[in-house]
């Protein structure tokens, strides 16, 4: 078995913004502390939920630096450094390593896309450029590129490719990855509504949007399962299912930032082209939050 970066629930943390759309570092610091105080197992910074696509190069590096310093080794920090340009992915990954992160989250190349052979070469190239453990990120709904189970098997032979964040939504694919790769590749759920199913196939946790608003409960879904309390884990998963779904009623992270703002956490707006949700969707989100005990 390779060295595991974390086990349990890692938060795909938002990047809070001021009204002028600059990064709100004071709030980011508060959010990191809130996560750690509520038993989150890892901080995933500059991922999709962190609006990495609209952070400029200077901001991307500064947000990573800030997260590493604020977390101060209390739990692992994993930086999203994926790109559709392999050379830039290498550059940003090396910078994140210099800044002291504990691991990297690398989404598949997007827009220009690539073949499965290209994926292998892309990940091989980045992995050879750093000493950090790498989590691959498969989310074809955003990138148009799926990491096939057979490709996972080939890439799992690289020592510092240690895991995959599986957000395909395809449980059969997850099962095949586990069958082919065994303990040579950890699997994290990339979908909050599939935490327990993926744990049941030998997954080791989740990289979660829900954790932004319910970090302890998301951690508990995983920990209960690890402790053999599978019924309780399943019941908590199902209890929160409506909220999990409501957090994707619009494009992530629009709903989760709205939820955090409703809770007084001041996550701020999303950067364009992400735009505020409709009144109707906002009411549905509020009702799901009320049912989960987040709002009165």
Catalytic residue list: 137, 165
Taking the mean position of all CA atoms in its chain, how far away is CA 130? 21
Our CA dihedral for 141, 145, 150, 153, rounded to 10 degrees, sits at: -90
Taking the mean position of all CA atoms in its chain, how far away is CA 8? 12
Phi, psi for residue 145 in degrees, rounded to 5: -130, 120
Q: Based on DSSP, count helices (H) and strands (E) in the chain, helices before strands.
A: 13, 8
Look up tokens 């098997």; give the residue. 153
Helix (H, G, I), strand (E, B) or coil at 161: strand
Report the distance separating Cα 273 and Cα 257, nearest Å: 15
Q: Cα–Cα distances in Å, from 176 out to 166, 186, 201, 217?
A: 12, 13, 10, 29
Cβ atoms of 1 and 213 within 8 Å: the answer is no
């Amino acid at each position: 078995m390779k060295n595991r970066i974390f086990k349990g629930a890692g938060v795909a943390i938002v990047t809070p913004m001021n009204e002028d759309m600059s990064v709100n570092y004071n709030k980011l610091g508060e959010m990191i502390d809130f996560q750690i105080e509520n038993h989150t197992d890892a901080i995933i910074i500059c991922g999709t939920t962190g609006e990495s696509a609209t952070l400029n190069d200077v901001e991307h590096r500064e947000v990573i630096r800030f997260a590493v310093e604020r977390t101060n080794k209390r739990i692992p920090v994993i930086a999203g450094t994926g790109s559709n340009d392999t050379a830039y992915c290498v550059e940003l990954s090396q910078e994140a390593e210099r800044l002291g992160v504990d691991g990297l989250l690398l989404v598949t190349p997007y827009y220009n896309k690539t073949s499965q052979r290209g994926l292998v070469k892309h990940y091989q190239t980045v992995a050879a450029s750093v000493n950090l453990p790498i989590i691959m990120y498969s989310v074809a709904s955003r990138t148009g590129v799926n990491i096939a189970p057979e490709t996972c098997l080939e890439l799992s032979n690289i020592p510092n490719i240690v895991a995959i964040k599986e957000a395909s939504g395809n449980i059969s694919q997850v099962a095949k990855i586990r069958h082919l790769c065994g303990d040579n590749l950890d699997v994290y759920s990339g979908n909050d509504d599939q935490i327990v199913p993926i744990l049941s196939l030998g997954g080791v946790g989740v990289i979660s949007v829900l954790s932004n608003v319910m970090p302890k409960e998301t951690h508990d879904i995983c920990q209960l399962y690890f402790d053999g309390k599978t019924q309780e884990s399943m019941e908590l998963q199902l209890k929160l299912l409506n909220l999990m779904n409501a957090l994707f009623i619009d494009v992530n992270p629009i709903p989760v930032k709205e939820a955090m703002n409703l809770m007084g956490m001041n996550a701020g707006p999303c950067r364009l082209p992400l735009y505020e949700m409709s009144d109707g969707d906002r009411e549905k989100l509020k009702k799901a939050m009320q049912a989960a005990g987040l709002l009165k």
